[in-house]
Amino acid sequence: MGNSKSKTYKRVLVPVSEEQLLDIFKSHDRDGDGKLSKEELKQAFSYLGSRFSAFRAEEALRTVDDNHDGVVSMDEMNKLIQYTKGRKYTIC
């Protein structure tokens, strides 16, 4: 019988700066249109380690989408960063 040891990883929460958040959100603008769709937001929050990325994306849109067009534009990006700031994430 072999000695079976499985590795477990502990989630470590780290603060993310506004500049890092901006870079992360911009990098998730997959189609390069300068806007973040709900799906792109979901992927960004998943990257940040959110266990409920779909919920977080929905809440972010509801909070920061001032013109109600269903996306976060670059004009609304600062509000998205403020919404996200203060939370700690595990960047995957």
Q: Give the model's pLDDT for residue 56.
A: 93
**31 vs 2: CA distance, rounded Å:** 49
Q: Give the model's pLDDT for residue 26.
A: 95
Nearest by Cα to 79 from 91, 61, 55: 61
Q: Are 85 and 66 in contact (CB under 8 A)?
A: no
Categorize the per-residue pLDDT at 91 as very low, low, confident or very high, splitting at 50, 70 and 90. low
pLDDT digits (tens, 9 = 90+) for 15-47: 788 999 999 999 999 999 999 999 999 999 999
Structure tokens given for 8: 């477990």
Arithmetic mean of pLDDT, 58-84:
94
